[in-house]
Structure 1
Amino acid sequence: MAMWQQVRLRCQLSLIVLFFTVVSLPELWAQEQSMSADDLIDLPLEALMQMDTTVVSASKRDETLKNSPAAIYVIGKEDLRRAAISNIPDALRMVPGMQVAKVSSNEWAVSARGLGGRYARYLLVLIDGRSIYTSLFSGVNWDEQNISLEDIERIEVVRGPGGSLWGANAVNGIVNIITRKPEALAGIQLRATVGDGEEKSSVYGRVDFATQANSEAFVSLYTQKNGALVAVNPNLKGHDWQSSRLNSGWQFQQAQNTLNISAGFFEVQSTTPWAKQLLEPPWAKPLYSHEDKKGFYGSLRWQHQTRYGQWYLLINSDDTQRDTTAYHWSTRNYDAEWQWTGGLGQRQMLTAGLYSRYTESDFSVPADGSGIDILLRPEKQSSKTHSIYFQDTLTLSPTVSASLGLRLDDHSLSHSSVQPSLRIMWQTHKSQRFWGAMSKANSTPSRILNSQSALSFATLPPDASAQPPASFLPVRLSLSNRDSNEVDVKLLSFELGYRYSASEVFSLDAVFFEHRYENILGVEGTGDPEFRMSYSGQGYLHIPIYANAQGVRENQGFELALAYQPCDQWFLQYSATILDVEQGFEQSDDSLGFNLAETVPQQQHILRSLWRVNKQLDLDTIVRYVGALEKTNVPSYASADIKLAYTINTQLSISLNARNLFNSDKQYIESEREIFNAGAFTVEPYAYLKIEWDLTRD
C-alpha cells in the first residue's frame, strides 16, 4: 500500500510541475526533473516522445523531427499498438490540426486546418510515397485503403502546405503512410478480433521470411467485417460492410543499393445510401447502392547511395474498379519519380527531382435513370502531369538554417502552376527551436470540376401560388459546371512554430498559422428554366445552379501538442486545435449553402493516457472533445476510447477495447455528407476483443 501511495503522490506532484513548466519554468524544470533513458519503463514508451524521430515527409530526406521547419507529427508503431483503434482515419484523430469524422459506416471526412468534408480535396495522402487520391473528386476513399495497422511502420502527418516538394493537393497537409518492410527474422504474426457494433470481426496474418542472402520477403492477409451505424431517420437503414486485403513485399540490399518491390490487392463490399431525387412526394428517398470495389497496386523503389548523396527511383501502378448498382467508376494510375538528394559542400543540402503521372478514368450511371443523379461528360477521360522540383537547405550559422523550395507542375486539365516555399529554423537553445514558413500551394484538378457536370441535389414541389406552368410542375435543381474548366484553389500560407524538448520526459510543439485561399467554390447564379421529361414520361422544370471559383477565405489557427511522462509507468499527451474562419465571395453567392468549407469544428481537444499497471497489464485511454459544425447544425460531442491489454507471455496478448464511451447522449453525429446526403448516422459505444500472437518474439 505504501508503494502505491508513493506512486500516486509522485504522479500528483509531477502534474503540478507540468503546470508550472508550461506557464513559466521550462528550463528550471528540465534541470531538476531530468530522467535518463535507463529510468524509463521497459516498454518503448520513449518512442512516443517524438522529437528525435527520423522523418522524411517534410523534406523528402531523412531528418529529425525537432529540426524540421514544418508542423509535423508522427504516429508510431507504439501509438498504433496501444490505442483502441482498427483503421487509419481513427489513428489520425490523435494528430493536432487534423479533423476526422465518421459520415457513415464506410465513409470518413478527413482534413487538416479546415476545408473539410467527405469530398475534401486539399489533403495529399500517400502510401510509401504513392499518391492514393481518386481523380473523380481529388479526395480519398478511405474504405479502399483499409490497411491493417500491424502492416504500418508509422504515419507521418505534415500540417500545412507541402506543394513545393509533393505537388498539387498538398494544400492543407500531407499524410504519408509508411508500411513495414520485410524483416530478416523469419516469423509469423496472427491477430483476431470479435465484437459487437462497428467492429464485428477481423483476422490478420503475416509471414516474414528470408528468400536468400541479403533479401527478405513478406506476405500479409487482412479481412474485416464492420457493423452498420444507426440512422437518425428511422426510414434510413445502415448496412454492414467488409473488406479484404492482400499485401506482399520483397527487399534486396547489397552494398549501396536497396531495392523494394511491393504488390497488393483489395476488395470492398458495401451498401451505401445516396439521396435520389423524385418528381412526386416525398421528393427524395434513399437509393441503396450495392458496391463491389476491387483494385490492385504494384510499386518499385530503388535507392542508390554514393559518397555525394543518394539517388531514388519510384515507379507505381494501380487500378481500381467500382461496380455498383448506382454508378460505375474505374481509374488507372501510372506514375514515376526520379530524385537526387545530396550535399553541396558542408553547408548545403539539395533535393531535386522529376515526376510524371498518367491517369485514365471512366464514369457512368445506368441509362434507365436508376442510378445517382450525376451527369459527367465525357464519360472517359485521361490526364497527364509532369513536374520538376527542388529544395535547397542552407546552413547560415550553427543555429540558423533556411530552406528554399520550388515546384513547377504542368497538368493537362488545368494551367501550369508554380508552388514556392521558404522555411527558416532558429535554434535558440539546445532544447528550444523556432521556425517560420511562407508557402504557396494549389489543389489538383478533378473530374467533377473540370468536366461538363451536373449534380441534381433538390426537387421543389409545384407552387400553387405561382403562375403557370410552374404552378403545376415540380422543379429540379442541379449544381452545374458552366465551362468545364474550373480554376484550382490557391493557398498562401504563413506559419510560425516553437518546439521545446528539455529532456526525455517532456516536449512541447506549438504552431500558429494563417491560410489565405483563392478560388473557393461558390454559386454564381441560376440559369433559365428548361422543360424536361423524366424516364417515366413526367414533365418537370430543370433549373441549373452554376458554380464558380470566385470565393476567398482566410483561416487562422493554433495547434498545440504536449507530451509528458510524469512517472515510470505513465505517459500523457495533450493536443489542442483552435481554428478561426473568415470567408467572402466576389461575384458569387453562397446563400444556397454550397460552400463546403464549414464542415470542420473550430476547436478540438485530445488527452491520451498510457498507463503500465504492472508488467503484464496496460490501461490506455483517449478522451476527445470536438466542437460543433455550425454550418450543418452538428452539435459538439465528447467521448473516450479505452483499451485494457493483458500480456500472457512474450508471444501472446489479449485486450478488451471499448470506443465512443461516456458521451452524455450515448449516441452522436460526427458529420454529414455534403451532397447526395440521404440522412445522418449516429456513432454509438461498442466493444471488441482482440487476441495477438507473434511468433517472432522470444
Structure 2
Amino acid sequence: HSGATDLPTVLRRIPGVEVMQTTGADINVSARGDNQLFVNKMLVMVDGRSIYVDTQGIVFWKPIPVTLPEIKRIEVLIGPASVLYGFNAFDGIINIITKSPEEIKGTTLQFGGGEFGTIAASAIQAGSFDKFGYRLSVGHDQNNQWRNRDALAFRDNKFNLHTEYALSATSKVFVSGGLVDSNKSDGPVVDPTLSSARPALGYAHIGYERSNFFIRAFWTEYTDSFDIRTPLLLNLLSFTDKAGNPISSFNANTYDLETQHTVELPATNRLTYGVNYRHNTVSANFLSQFGREDRLGLYVQDEWKATQSLTVVAGVRYDLDTFIHPTTSPRGAVLYRFHPDHTLRASISVAFRPPTMLETFFDSRTNTNPPLPPSTLSVAGSRNLSAEEIVSYEIGYQGWFLRHRLRGRGDLFFNHITNLVGPFPVSPISSTFVNNGTGSADIYGGEAGVEFLATHSISGFANFSYQEISQTFSGQVQRAGPRFKANAGLRGEWDNGLNGEVALFHVGAATYPISSTFAAFAPLGVVPPDPRVGSYNLLNLRAGYRFWHEKGEVAVSVFNALNDMHKEHPLGDTIGSRVMGWLTLKF
C-alpha cells in the first residue's frame, strides 16, 4: 500500500508514463509525450477486461471498478500493442490484476481520511469452498476540489462480486460483475470547457481459462449526465444540444467476445492466435443519431526461438470496423540474450485508434452570452474520419546484477504519429471533426532506470526519462509534454511492524496548446492562461505500523509533502499537499 488514493499516483513512478491531473477528479494518463486533455490513446484493463470507454475514448481513473486493497499488481506495457490487444492500445496498455479469492481470503476493512474532505473506504469479504471461490467488495471514495477545499470534487460508491470455480489445477470458469456510481465528478477538462459529470459504470464478465486457452465475454454500460461550463471564459459561452438543452445525457453499451489459443509447436515455436468481436452502442442528445458500431479483429503471433540466445517475434492483426477502412497492425521484435542475465531487444510496431462515435456523430451548439451579441456555432462529427496511426521503433536492454539484487533497464524510442482527429472550423458558424492529414509528430527519446533490493527490508527504484517532440500539427491536436522527468523512491518493511515509503517525482516544464478563444475574448476581460507550466517536485511519504499479528495496520500518508504548489496543465487546478490517516484490519 502506497498511501495513494488513485492509481495514476502510483503510475507516476514508471519511466515513460505521463500523468497529468487537472482537477480533483480528472486525471489523464498516457505515454512518451502523447498526453493531452481528454486523453484517449492508452488501453486500460481490469483482469483483461477493457475499462476504456470506446464510445467516448476516455478512461475514468477515479471511479475504477475495483477497490485498492483488491489489486495484486499492475502490468504496464509502454508502446503500441495492437497485435494482441487491438484498437486503442496506441500508447500502450495498463492491466490491473486483482487478487484471487484465496489470496485475499477473509475480511479486509480499510478506511482512509484526511484533508480536502478525502475519504477512501472499502470492505472486502473473500473465501473458498472446495473448488469454488468468491470475492465481494464495496467501496466509497470522495474528495474536495483543489481550487476550493470546501466544494466537493468527486464522490462514488462501488460494488463488485467475483466468483470462480476450479475445473482442474490449470483451468477455471469465472463470473463477475459490479457497478460504480459517481454522483459527482469535477471534470473532465476539455479546452476551453469544464464539465460537471456523474458517470456510472456497470459491468458483467464471464469466461473460461486454462494455461494455453481462454474465451471471455463482457458487457459494460456507461451512463452520464453533465453540463458544460466555461468559467475561464467568464461564462461568455454556453453549450447546448440542437434543441437548446444544456444538460448532456449519455448511455453507452459495449458487448465483447474474445478467444485466444496458444500452441507450443515442435522444438522452437510458440504460436498464439485469436479472434475478438465487439459491438458498441450509444445514445445521447449531443449526438445526431443513435450510434451502432461493430468491430472484428483477427490476430496471430509467432515466437521463434532461433538459437539459445536469439528469439524472433512476429505478429499481425487485421481489424474491421463499421466506420473506417480495414486496418493491419504488424509487429516484429528480436531479442538477443547474450548472457543469462542480460538481454537486448529491438522492435517495430504499428497501432491505430479508430474515431469514436462521439467524434463521428457529435452535434452541439456553442452560444454566446451577454454582453456579446447572440450567435451560434455548430460543431458536428464526421463519418469520413480515418483511424489515427502510430509507427514505433524501439531498442532496449535489461540486465540483472549483484546476484539478482539489482535490475537495470534502458530504452530508446522513435514514434511517428499521423491522422490525429480534432475539431476544425469549416465556416464562420460551423466546425467539424477532421483528421489533421497534413500534420505529423515525431516523438523520440529514452528511459533508463534501476530497481534494487538494498537489504532484506529495504528496496528502491530510480529512473529518468527524456523526450523531444518535432511536429507539424497545429491547434489543439499538438503533442506536448515535459522534456525531462526523474523518479526515485525507497520502501522499507521491518520485522517489528514498522514500514514506510518515500517517493520523489521531478517533472520538467512543458508548453501545451491552448484554444484561440482565450485570446479572442481578451478584450472582454478574459485572461488567457499561460500555455507554459513550470517544473515541479512531488514528494509523497507514507509511514505505517502493523500490529495484531500483522492483521492490523495504522498509517499516515502525505501527498506533495514539499507543498510544491503547481499546475500540471494550464487549464488545471493548482495542486497542493494533502495529509491522510489510514486504518486497515484483516480477520
What TM-score do the two structures reach when normalised by structure 1?
A: 0.74
1:681 alignment partner, one of 564, 567, 573: 573
1:594 paired residue number: 476
The alpha carbon displacement at 1:546 in A equals: 6.6
Are 1:560 and 2:448 counterparts?
yes
Are 1:317 and 2:219 counterparts?
yes
* Inter-CA distance 239–621: structure 2 relative to 1 (3 Å threshold): same
Letter in 1 for 2:181: E
Are 1:239 and 2:149 counterparts?
no
Are 1:176 and 2:95 counterparts?
yes
Instruction: Name whichever of 248-257 and 182-191 sits farther off.
Output: 182-191
1:196 paired residue number: 115
The alpha carbon displacement at 1:611 in A equals: 2.8
2:281 alignment partner, one of 342, 360, 380: 360
3-state SS of 2:287 partner: strand
* Inter-CA distance 328–522: structure 2 relative to 1 (3 Å threshold): closer
3-state SS of 1:681 partner: coil
Instruction: Name whichever of 183-192 and 513-522 sits farther off.
Output: 183-192
Letter in 1 for 2:279: Y
* Inter-CA distance 336–288: structure 2 relative to 1 (3 Å threshold): closer
Letter in 1 for 2:175: I
1:415 alignment partner, one of 318, 322, 325: 325
Q: Deviations over 1:278-318 (max 9, x none)?
A: xxxxxx9x8773x433332111121245xxxx221111111
What TM-score do the two structures reach when normalised by structure 2?
A: 0.87
3-state SS of 1:497 partner: strand
3-state SS of 1:201 partner: strand
* Inter-CA distance 646–176: structure 2 relative to 1 (3 Å threshold): same
Are 1:582 and 2:470 counterparts?
yes
Retained in 2: the 8 A contact 1:137–1:446? yes
Retained in 2: the 8 A contact 1:121–1:444? no
Letter in 2 for 1:400: L
The alpha carbon displacement at 1:567 in A equals: 3.4
Retained in 1: the 8 A contact 2:154–2:186? no
Where in structure 2 are the equivalents of 1:380-419 lying within 5 Å? Answer: 380-419=290-329
2:239 paired residue number: none
1:349 paired residue number: 270
3-state SS of 1:604 partner: strand
Instruction: Name whichever of 483-492 and 421-430 sits farther off.
Output: 483-492
2:199 paired residue number: 293
1:604 paired residue number: 485
Retained in 2: the 8 A contact 1:449–1:485? no
CA distance in 2, matches of 1:299, 1:276: 31
What runs of 5+ residues in structure 1 fail to find an aligned partner? 1-80, 278-283, 365-374, 463-472, 530-541, 673-678
3-state SS of 1:682 partner: coil
1:435 alignment partner, one of 336, 345, 348: 345
The alpha carbon displacement at 1:243 in A equals: 1.0
3-state SS of 2:384 partner: coil
Letter in 1 for 2:350: K
2:255 paired residue number: 334
Higher relative contact order, structure no. (Cα contacts within 8 Å, ≥ 6 residues apart): 1
Q: Deviations over 1:579-619 (max 9, x none)?
A: 1101115xxxx2xx322422x22221111111346622122
CA distance in 1, matches of 2:296, 2:580: 47
Are 1:508 and 2:408 counterparts?
yes
1:141 alignment partner, one of 60, 72, 96: 60
Retained in 2: the 8 A contact 1:479–1:547? no
2:141 paired residue number: 224
Where in structure 2 are the equivalents of 1:202-213 lying within 5 Å? Answer: 202-211=120-129, 213=130
Q: Deviations over 1:195-218 (max 9, x none)?
A: 112x6223211111224x211111
3-state SS of 1:567 partner: coil
Paired positions, count: 546
Where in structure 2 are the equivalents of 1:484-633 lying within 5 Å? Answer: 484-502=383-401, 503-521=403-421, 526-529=425-428, 542-544=429-431, 547-550=434-437, 551-585=439-473, 590=474, 593-598=475-480, 600-612=481-493, 615-631=496-512, 632-633=531-532
3-state SS of 1:384 partner: strand
1:691 paired residue number: 583
Identity %: 20
2:180 paired residue number: 266
* Inter-CA distance 484–545: structure 2 relative to 1 (3 Å threshold): closer
* Inter-CA distance 155–419: structure 2 relative to 1 (3 Å threshold): same
Letter in 2 for 1:267: D
Instruction: Name whichever of 146-155 and 636-645 sits farther off.
Output: 146-155
The alpha carbon displacement at 1:670 in A equals: 1.6
3-state SS of 1:527 partner: strand
CA distance in 2, matches of 1:288, 1:507: 43
The alpha carbon displacement at 1:479 in A equals: 5.5
Where in structure 2 are the equivalents of 1:632-643 lying within 5 Å? Answer: 632-643=531-542
CA distance in 2, matches of 1:275, 1:458: 20
* Inter-CA distance 228–400: structure 2 relative to 1 (3 Å threshold): same
Retained in 2: the 8 A contact 1:185–1:210? no
The alpha carbon displacement at 1:123 in A equals: 0.9
The alpha carbon displacement at 1:248 in A equals: 1.0
Letter in 1 for 2:141: Q
The alpha carbon displacement at 1:376 in A equals: 3.0
What runs of 5+ residues in structure 2 fail to find an aligned partner? 228-246, 513-530
2:242 paired residue number: none
* Inter-CA distance 528–394: structure 2 relative to 1 (3 Å threshold): closer
CA distance in 2, matches of 1:595, 1:287: 18
CA distance in 2, matches of 1:222, 1:559: 36
Retained in 2: the 8 A contact 1:557–1:579? yes
2:46 alignment partner, one of 127, 143, 147: 127
1:114 alignment partner, one of 33, 44, 49: 33
* Inter-CA distance 455–634: structure 2 relative to 1 (3 Å threshold): farther
Q: Deviations over 1:114-134 (max 9, x none)?
A: 221232221111111111222
Q: Deviations over 1:415-455 (max 9, x none)?
A: 11000000111001111100110111111321232235457
Retained in 2: the 8 A contact 1:135–1:361? no
Retained in 2: the 8 A contact 1:88–1:146? no
Q: Deviations over 1:382-423 (max 9, x none)?
A: 100011101110010000011111100101121110000001
Q: Deviations over 1:645-665 (max 9, x none)?
A: 1112321111011111214xx
3-state SS of 2:399 partner: strand
Retained in 2: the 8 A contact 1:125–1:174? yes
Retained in 1: the 8 A contact 2:505–2:537? yes
* Inter-CA distance 302–135: structure 2 relative to 1 (3 Å threshold): same
CA distance in 2, matches of 1:115, 1:583: 12
Retained in 1: the 8 A contact 2:37–2:189? no
2:528 paired residue number: none
| Higher share in helix | 1
Letter in 1 for 2:85: W
Letter in 1 for 2:204: G
Q: Deviations over 1:4-33 (max 9, x none)?
A: xxxxxxxxxxxxxxxxxxxxxxxxxxxxxx
Q: Deviations over 1:346-393 (max 9, x none)?
A: 2000110011000111122xxxxxxxxxx5322x10100011101110
CA distance in 2, matches of 1:619, 1:239: 30
The alpha carbon displacement at 1:527 in A equals: 3.4
* Inter-CA distance 238–543: structure 2 relative to 1 (3 Å threshold): farther
Retained in 1: the 8 A contact 2:13–2:505? no
3-state SS of 1:426 partner: strand
Retained in 1: the 8 A contact 2:26–2:187? no
Retained in 2: the 8 A contact 1:184–1:216? no
CA distance in 1, matches of 2:567, 2:330: 39
Retained in 1: the 8 A contact 2:65–2:178? no
1:656 paired residue number: 556
Retained in 1: the 8 A contact 2:23–2:187? no
CA distance in 2, matches of 1:428, 1:292: 53
Q: Deviations over 1:451-500 (max 9, x none)?
A: 354574988987xxxxxxxxxx566666655x432111111111100001
Are 1:84 and 2:3 counterparts?
yes
